[in-house]
Structure 1
Amino acid sequence: MDKTEQGLKQNKGPLLLLSFNLFIIMVGIGLVIPILPFYVEKFGAGARTLGALIAVYSFMQFIFAPLWGRLSDKIGRKPLITAGLIGFAVSEFLFAFASSIWLLFAARILAGGFGSALMPTAMAYVSDVTSDEDRGKGMGIMGAAMGLGIVIGPGIGGWLAEYDLSYPFIFAGIAASVAAVVSVLILPESYSPEQRAIDAERNRAESSSSRIEKLKQTMRSPAGFLLLLVFLLSFGLANFQSIFGYYSWERYGYGPKEVGLIMLIIGLIGTLVQGAGVGRITKKFGDQRTVLGSLLLSAVGFILMTLANSFAGVLVTTGIFFIGNSLLRPSVNSLLSKQAGPQQGYIMGLNNSFLSLGNVAGPLAAGGLFEWNLHLPYMFGAAIMLFGFSLTYRWAKQHSQEAVH
């Protein structure tokens, strides 16, 4: 066993606990998928309100993620992870017992604001406890937990909602509360005060500019391109997820049962790919080549989806897209963390903001294009992935010396 593998093994416990926390959050997000349309109907609201509730969550993440990321660089990762879980738990309870539409919005705003504390801090945590060589594997473990949560979430939500529509949200609140307590008692801090002081001094020496100037500098750096890539991959996935149910209903006559089964199967495939495949593939081909191949595979999947004419065909084509996307996200995150240097929290906060921005823009674009033609969202998604492939190919050539093999 070499030194890097030994280091990853020693940090396996914290990584698994962190992955559990992300799993809980993604279950909470996933269980909303089959329930939210019926839940808002209780308040006499319609599709426009539903879309606004979905968008406001991602928009709050876009605003607050960089703030949480910078704060984690100052006070450490553990306090932010714990705060994110507690805030998310409170938001779920508020949603479950809301008596008006405005309380629903308040709950979603709270969920987006505090939920955004967890993701960038978790990625910074992984960067703290893994070497460059094993970072892709660490990100893959984290991605697998998230993928499994988003797969299991709708199943739990659909089952609990048969008893009461508020039960899924109560379940998510209890689970997040348990995860917060476990994190307080067990999760070790990955970012020591001594290392924070060293990195803070280094950051002050590197730049005394304002936050806006710092953002401009970041966007002009190699990390800036990777943040753009994060937006593109998030846009593509949100484009797919937001319109898939409508697309399946209009084209194939599928109901929630068939759509749920497809999402379950491809979600499990994605989880297996992230948990078992990302580490091996990135070590063999490097992060840059993995990103290029994943972008191309995602584009092909988008195009093939418009050609499927049977349930098996839908499974295969959506599976191709999901495999590409499952490889793409942890590979981009790994590249980004290597560019972040001593600013892991800040960069990962920006990463979550660009991810959230894609989650806002993707559904809006897909909904508008779907009204023109049901195939347009997926054709546009393919074009976005190919555009990302072209940009990444050029970027990789210019920064070939930074490629990891």
Structure 2
Amino acid sequence: MKWTLRTPLPRTVVMLAVAAFFVAVGFGVMIPVLPIFAASFGVTNFMIGLVVSAFAGMRLAISPFCRRISDRIGHRRTIGIGMWIVGASSALCGLAGSYWELLLWRAIGGLGSAMFTISATALLLASVGPELRGRASGLYQGGFLLGGMAGPAIGGLLATVSLTAPFYFYAGTLVVAGAIAFSQLHDPPGMAEAAAVAPTRSLREVVADSRFRAACLMSFGQGWQSFGVRSALVPLLVVGALGSDPSWAGIAFAIAAIAQTAALPAAGRATDTLGRRPVMVVGGLLAAASTLATPFAPNMQLLIVLLCVYGVGAAALGTAPTAALGDAAKDAGSQPVAIYSMAGDLGSILGPLAAGVLADSWGMGAAFGSGAAILLAGAVAAALIPARLDRRNSEPETVG
């Protein structure tokens, strides 16, 4: 089938975005109360941080094995089972009677998260041709963003009911998302037969591909900055440097999320029409420049503007690298997708730790500068992608 920019996105892509919305709503509801619930067991700040990190740590540990799981049972079942594992673990977190029970169930949730995240990305890329990968990635990311905006508002209401109510709500949203996966998603035709055949492109060839390397570096930078430095330190800037009420941190993030969501359709279309390279370069430069300027914002208004600029850059980095990954990893199985996901997880684990150390030792400028440097390196890596590899219909080539 010949794919064009006007071709409607397949139903599988649309339903993946719907499932992503339910996952993100629940995640947004639960995450703000997790540290508070952990603290109720009378543990140290380090142990509270360990509960937060356990989820990402388990995702990182299980990611290399997700390809074998999806090859054996299919992407659809892997996604659904993974979502239900996270849902069950969330409910058990709410029932935890000790800190160690909470830590255990939270870590098990990371196992399910790795299963559905990697398989969902692989299914997304397998469901569309090269000319629709940007739009498909944008719609999928849009589901997460819209859910992420709605989640904290619902979470605030649920927290007034009880501290554990958000955990049960998260479990419920994942039951819905898992049901969508089982009933509405479909594996590509011939997937079972293809899984039994060895990939025609080796992992070494994929790693040698400049598109794959740039995509992984961008994924690492996004994890480091978006889920690390930005989330950990912007609230401190709002309260400490600008003297604003803590509620302004949530308002600023919400406005930036709206800007990012609004920019996703244009980023997806540009990725499919202009190519992956220019969108990755522009996105990386916007994200790096706004990150570097953020700690020096003199007032709340300019800080919000900078966060919105970052959101526009993040929209580009949520579409083009995924499309580049699909171009580079075609006919190479799901292992490159797992590596791409692991790069983001590693950044999200190391980012908060490094940001804290840098902020304590050299100030906020150094902490934000670390994220800007990684994003800038990703933009440079994208700029070095040869033009012959950045065609919309490009097939993987062996590059030395």
TM-score greater than 0.5 by the shorter chain: yes
Given candidates 311, 314, 324, the residue that maps to 1:325 is: 314
Pairwise CA distance, 1:25: 2.1
Asked if 1:228 is matched to 2:225, the reply is: no
1:314 aligned partner, one-letter code: L
Counterparts of 1:93 and 1:59 in 2: how far apart (Å)? 20
Say whether 1:273 aligns with 2:260.
no
Q: 1:342 deviation in Å?
A: 2.4
Gaps in structure 2 of 5+ consecutive residues: 393-400
1:292 matched residue in structure 2: 281
Task: Confirm whether residue 389 of structure 1 aligns to residue 387 of structure 2.
Answer: no
Q: d(CA) in 1 for partners of 2:109 and 2:243?
A: 34
SS in 2 for 1:15: helix
Is the Cα–Cα contact under 8 Å of residues 25 and 176 in structure 1 kept in the other structure? yes
Aligned letter for 2:144?
M
Is contact 2:268-2:316 (8 Å) kept?
no
Which whole-Å CA distance do the structure 1 matches of 2:163 and 2:34 have between them?
A: 9
Quote the residue 2:192 is aligned against.
Answer: 196
Specify the alignment match of 1:187 in structure 2.
184
Residue equivalent to 1:403: 390
Distance in 1 (alpha carbons) for counterparts of 2:197 and 2:19:
31
Instruction: Using the TM superposition, give the Cα deviation of residue 21 of structure 1 relative to its aligned residue in structure 2, in angstroms.
Output: 1.6
Matching of residue 339 in structure 1 with residue 335 in structure 2: no
Which has more helix, going by share of residues? 1
Question: 2:138 — aligned with what?
Answer: 140
Separation of aligned partners in 2, 1:206 and 1:320: 38
Q: Higher mean Cα deviation, 30-39 or 146-155?
A: 30-39
Tell me the residue number matched to 1:210.
none
Which aligned pairs between 1:161-180 and structure 2 lie closer than 5 A?
A: 161-180=159-178
- The within-5 A match list for 1:100-119 is 100-119=98-117
Letter of the structure 2 residue corresponding to residue 368 of structure 1: V
> In structure 1, how many angstroms separate the alpha carbons of the residues matched to 2:297 and 2:308?
12
TM-score norm. by structure 1 comes to: 0.90
How many angstroms apart in 2 are the aligned matches of 1:359 and 1:290? 23
Q: Aligned equivalents of 2:219 and 2:309: distance in 1?
A: 20
- Secondary structure of 1:58's aligned partner: helix
| Comparing 357-366 and 264-273, the one that deviates more | 264-273
Following superposition of structure 1 onto structure 2, how do residues 5-404 of structure 1 map, counting pairs within 5 Å? 5=5, 7-9=7-9, 11=10, 13-184=11-182, 186-192=183-189, 194-198=190-194, 200-203=196-199, 214=203, 218-222=206-210, 223-237=212-226, 238-274=228-264, 276-372=265-361, 373-394=363-384, 396=385, 399-404=386-391
Is the CA contact 2:134–2:319 (under 8 Å) kept in the aligned structure 1? yes
Tell me by how many angstroms 1:267 deviates.
Answer: 1.1
TM-score after normalising by structure 2: 0.91
Deviation at 1:217, TM superposition (A): 5.5
Does the CA-based 8 Å contact 2:3-2:131 persist in structure 1?
A: no
Contact 1:58 1:112 (C-alpha < 8 Å) held by counterparts: yes
Secondary structure of residue in 2 paired with 1:31: helix
Q: Which moved more, 1:326-335 or 1:15-24?
A: 15-24
Shifted more, 385-394 versus 349-358: the winner is 385-394
**Structure 1 position 329, deviation (Å):** 2.2
How far, CA to CA, are the matches of 1:218 and 1:279 in structure 2?
A: 23
Post-superposition Cα deviations, 1:158-189, rounded to whole Å, max 9, x if no partner, equal 221012111111101011112222332x2232
- How far 1:7 moved relative to its partner? 5.0
SS in 2 for 1:4: coil
Whole-Å separation in 2 of the counterparts to 1:332 and 1:198: 25
Change (3 A) 1:388 1:183: closer
- Report how far residue 153 of structure 1 moved: 1.9
CA RMSD across the alignment? 2.0
CA distance in 2: counterparts of 1:334 and 1:37, whole angstroms: 35
Paired positions, count: 388
Task: Please give the alpha-carbon distance, in whole angstroms, between the structure 2 residues aligned to 1:26 and 1:351.
Answer: 20
Listed one character per residue, the Cα deviations across residues 184-216 of structure 1 (whole Å, up to 9, x for unaligned) are: 2x2232233x3432354242x666xxxxxx5x5
Structure 1: gaps of 5 or more residues? 208-213
Write the distance in 2 (CA, Å) between the matches of 1:293 and 1:31. 32
Deviation at 1:54, TM superposition (A): 1.7
Residue deviations 1:329-375, cap 9 Å, x none?
22101100111112352222221111111110111111111212133
What code does the residue aligned with 2:197 have?
Answer: E
Identity of aligned residues (%): 23
Q: How many Å separate the matches in 2 of 1:294 and 1:77?
A: 30
How many angstroms does 1:236 deviate by?
A: 2.1
- Matched residue type, 1:75: I
Spell out structure 1 runs of 4+ moving beyond 6 A: none
